[in-house]
Amino acid sequence: MFQKLKKHQFLFEELVPIACLVIFNTGLGLILSALQVFFRDMQYLWKVLTQLLMWCAKPVFI
Does the structure show a pLDDT above 70 at 3? no
pTM for this entry: 0.56
Confidence of residue 1 (pLDDT cuts 50, 70, 90): low
Task: Return the domain boundaries, the chain.
Answer: 7-56
Confidence of residue 20 (pLDDT cuts 50, 70, 90): very high
Confidence of residue 7 (pLDDT cuts 50, 70, 90): low
The region, left, alpha or beta by phi > 0 then psi within -120 to 50, assigned to residue 40 is alpha
Does the structure show a pLDDT above 80 at 8? no
Query: Based on C-alpha coordinates, what's the Rg of the chain?
Result: 18
